[in-house]
């Protein structure tokens, strides 16, 4: 079992990163929390991602997280019946770790239901299964900073292109994603890629 991979960022998108370690490039699926963390560390130095392996008959996938607590949250979410790794990643992209902890602990099914693929019944199942367990999640100093809109803004078209690509990889249609991205950028032309994706996940 792989606990973590330390390497140089060779490629970084809102949904996956390629880390080169000892001459091997590892493609690692990530959420927005991890993407934001990695964006601030693209200085040529090594970074470490804590890894969860998803092994199937036809694939061997890696999901990476900046902190152990984010990985623990991912494992809690995927322990719920009907919640696969991509759905868990989408939840963790729509809300940061502390928000998810609060949503589940307070039984806020409506907030969870805003995530694509999560109906009312599935949201309630997550709350029932994890309400007690989530309180044991020690956030410590791992509170996410992905809500901050302090990322350096890029040109609208570049932001839209990257956001739509990420949303498409998360399972949304390109046309619907582009329409929502246009609306978000019309309201806030300086919105970062992370902000566009986060808002879009609640609107699609």
pLDDT in tens, 167-193: 888 888 877 888 898 889 888 888 888
In tens, the pLDDT along 87-130 reads 999 899 888 898 899 999 999 998 888 887 788 899 999 999 99
**Predicted structure pTM score:** 0.74
For the chain, which domains are there?
A: 4-65 (2.40.50.140), 68-134 (1.10.150.20), 156-203 (1.10.8.10)
Q: How many CB atoms lie within 10 A of CB 124?
A: 15
Q: Which two tokens stand for residue 65?
A: 């997280």
Beta strands in the chain (DSSP E): 4-12, 16-21, 24-29, 46-55, 60-65
| Nearest Cα to Cα of residue 145 among 90, 192, 111, 190 | 192
- Residues 111, 135: Cα–Cα separation, whole Å: 18
pLDDT at 147 over 50: no
| Nearest Cα to Cα of residue 94 among 122, 117, 64, 71 | 117
């Amino acid at each position: 079992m792989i606990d973590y991979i330390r390497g140089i960022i060779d490629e970084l998108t809102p949904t996956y990163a390629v880390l080169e370690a000892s001459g091997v490039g590892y493609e690692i699926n990530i959420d927005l929390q991890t993407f934001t963390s990695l964006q601030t560390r693209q200085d040529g130095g090594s970074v470490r991602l804590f890894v969860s392996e998803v092994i199937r008959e036809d694939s061997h996938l890696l999901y990476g997280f900046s902190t152990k607590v984010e990985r623990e949250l991912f494992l809690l979410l995927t322990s719920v019946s009907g919640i696969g790794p991509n759905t868990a990643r989408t939840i963790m992209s729509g809300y940061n770790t502390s928000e998810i902890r609060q949503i589940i602990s307070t039984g806020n099914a409506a907030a969870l239901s805003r995530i694509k693929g999560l109906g009312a019944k599935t949201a309630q199942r997550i709350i029932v299964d994890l309400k007690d367990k989530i309180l044991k999640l020690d956030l410590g100093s791992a509170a996410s900073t992905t809500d901050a809109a302090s990322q350096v803004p890029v040109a609208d078209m570049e932001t839209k292109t990257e956001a739509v690509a990420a949303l498409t990889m998360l399972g949304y249609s390109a046309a619907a994603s582009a329409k929502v991205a246009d609306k978000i950028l019309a309201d806030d032309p300086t919105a970062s890629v992370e902000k566009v994706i986060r808002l879009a996940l609640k609107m699609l």
